[in-house]
Amino acid sequence: MKQILFALITLLCFAISNDTFGQTQLEMNQEEESNYLKADKELNLVYNQILNEYKSDAVFIKNLKNAQRIWIQFRDAEMKSKYPEREQGYYGSIHPMCWSIYIKDLTEERTKKLIVWLTGIEEGDACLGSVKMK
């Protein structure tokens, strides 16, 4: 009796805690693509806030735009090195999900780097460069 009860509780806990249980690969692919699109939207929001906040510094803005263009080239090259173009189906049905996860991670890393221009650096940091002080 104890074994049956234990098995039922274990099964119930697994079913409740595993929210991907029962999802199709297509649904998981779509979910991860949505997560990437949210990260990309956040990156663009932060980037545009920086452009607005630092608009009086033309040299910085020019260099930031150049850096962002180069970062996009890097991101695309990184994606191609992680997942080189192959025949259709080479990476399997999980490929769109994996692609979205990796590009989301790269995008979130870039956003963290850019946010510093909005949050600032502590006063006394001699290496703040073009970043404002808090």
Class of domain 26-119 as given by CATH = mainly alpha
The CA distances from residue 84 to 52, 79, 90, 106, in Å, are 37, 8, 10, 17
Q: What pTM did the predictor assign?
A: 0.80
With residue 69 as reference, give the H or E element that holds it: helix 58-82
pLDDT of residue 122: 86
Say if CB 107 and CB 43 are below 8 A apart. yes
Neighbours of 73 (CB within 10 A): 10
pLDDT of residue 133: 85
pLDDT of residue 1: 61
Neighbours of 103 (CB within 10 A): 21
Residue ranges in the chain modelled with pLDDT below 50: 17, 20
pLDDT of residue 123: 83
Encode burial over 18-36: b for 16+ CB neighbours within 10 A, e otherwise: eeeeeeeeeebbeebbebb
